[in-house]
């Protein structure tokens, strides 16, 4: 039985908070099982989660996580702290360990705007639920090595969200060139990665039209440089 797996996701800190992005491809073995799957979701108003791993369990985990945060806020009258949210997600990943040992691993990225400290924060996890805060960027999925290299070379701690959106777009494009499980921009079908910015104004998804424009600008730049844009 072939299981759909979500692939490459990234999160990058910027002056306004955090940029999150994920490609749209899911694979089952060597087959493309879905071309339009979304991997970046709001967890609540000031945080988001990006999924990699077994797609079905991952999306179910996201829905449950969203409900838990909403329930806590209704009961307590205030939102859970960002550290509390990160810990809660880590516990959910840890509870999924028996399934992970059977091939249904879920390894998310979590990011948000810390309203107390007034800056963006991001976290990675392992399959045991281990939580690791990153200062600059985090990557996950089959293309994480390639995406991480592109981001590492282009990251600047003083960069704003606009620049980091372009960097995320470039990272996913370059990763799709090297990793068959990562989907690049599909200009024919109009399918582009999901990109979001999480800052003082909350979780805001970047419009598909803007993401398309940024990809077309990237392709034009590569063509002008004589680079490989295939």
Catalytic residue numbers read 7
Judge whether 203 and 175 are in contact, CB under 8 Å: no
Cα–Cα dist 187/203, whole Å? 26
Over its C-alpha atoms, the chain yields an Rg (Å, rounded) of 17
Chain centre distance of CA 191: 16
Q: Which residue has the tokens 């990665």?
A: 193
């Amino acid at each position: 039985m072939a299981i759909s797996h979500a692939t490459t996701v990234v999160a990058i800190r910027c002056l306004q908070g955090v940029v999150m992005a994920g490609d749209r491809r899911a694979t089952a073995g060597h087959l493309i099982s879905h071309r339009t799957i979304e991997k970046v979701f709001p967890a609540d108003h000031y945080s988001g989660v990006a999924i990699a791993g077994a797609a079905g369990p991952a999306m179910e985990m996201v829905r449950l996580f969203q409900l838990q945060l909403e329930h806590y806020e209704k009961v307590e009258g205030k939102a859970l702290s960002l550290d509390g949210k990160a810990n809660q997600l880590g516990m959910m990943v840890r509870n999924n360990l028996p399934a992970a040992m059977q091939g249904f691993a879920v390894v998310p990225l979590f990011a948000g705007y810390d309203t107390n400290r007034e800056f963006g924060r991001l976290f990675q996890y392992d399959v045991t639920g281990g939580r690791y805060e990153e200062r600059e960027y985090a990557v996950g999925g089959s293309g994480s090595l390639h995406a991480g290299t592109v981001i590492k070379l282009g990251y600047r701690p003083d960069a704003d969200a606009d620049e980091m959106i372009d960097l995320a777009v470039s990272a996913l494009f370059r990763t799709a060139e090297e990793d068959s499980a990562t989907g690049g921009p599909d200009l024919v079908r109009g399918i582009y990665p999901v990109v979001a910015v999480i800052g003082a104004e909350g979780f805001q998804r970047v419009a598909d039209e803007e993401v398309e424009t940024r990809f077309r600008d990237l392709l034009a730049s590569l063509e002008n440089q004589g680079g490989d844009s295939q």
